[in-house]
């Protein structure tokens, strides 16, 4: 986590958690994080201790996503954030050249690709407009991909914690929402 007095470029579209502790936002500023960033990235501001964390990067990475990230949505308690990204370096083997939807979990700073098929394959087209439920267990997003759910372009994703509370590896299920 890192903070400076003023960002050196614009910040946009803030969304605050229900408890007021967390604010997720997009920014083109390059001085909000110790990691090297360029283009629009997703950041999470802890208003209690005034720390800013770069969300749109792989855990342990020294730089941010290599493509723009946008449209973040935060759970009520601020522990989970979903967003869309053009970056190909947030997870290994992201070589589909499409906008993808990701989940960031503050418990372990982990990034999970949500816009994938039931079999775990990368989508064959763009996915975007992700929203997370207040309790952080459900995510919806729009997708043009036809391989997430066979023959469907609209998907519903459920993120279920893999243990007590939010600890453990989440189970991700994808289902058709009709049509």
- Span 45-95, pLDDT tens digits: 999 999 999 999 876 777 888 999 999 999 999 999 999 999 999 988 888
pLDDT digits (tens), the chain, 179 positions: 455 568 888 899 999 999 999 999 999 998 888 887 888 999 999 999 999 999 998 767 778 889 999 999 999 999 999 999 999 999 888 889 999 999 999 888 889 898 887 778 888 888 888 999 899 888 888 888 877 776 555 555 554 444 333 334 545 555 555 44
Task: Report the predicted TM-score, pTM, of the whole model to 2 decimal places.
Answer: 0.82
* Contact (CB, 8 A) for 129 and 150: no
């Amino acid at each position: 986590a890192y903070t400076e007095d003023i960002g050196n470029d614009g910040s946009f579209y803030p969304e605050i958690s229900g408890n007021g502790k967390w604010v997720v936002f997009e920014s083109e500023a390059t001085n909000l994080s110790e990691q090297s960033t360029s283009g629009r990235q997703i950041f999470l501001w802890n208003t209690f201790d005034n720390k800013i964390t770069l969300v749109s990067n792989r855990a342990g990475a020294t730089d941010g996503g290599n493509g723009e990230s946008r449209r973040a949505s935060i759970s009520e308690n601020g522990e989970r954030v979903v967003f869309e990204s053009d970056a190909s370096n947030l997870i290994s083997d992201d070589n589909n050249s499409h906008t993808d939807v990701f989940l960031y979990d503050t418990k372990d700073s982990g990034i999970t690709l949500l816009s994938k098929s039931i079999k775990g394959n990368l989508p064959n087209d763009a996915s975007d407009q992700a929203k997370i439920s207040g309790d952080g267990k459900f995510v919806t997003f729009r997708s043009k991909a036809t391989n997430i759910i066979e023959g469907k372009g609209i998907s519903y994703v459920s993120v279920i914690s893999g243990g007590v509370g939010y600890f453990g590896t989440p189970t991700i299920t994808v289902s058709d929402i009709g049509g």
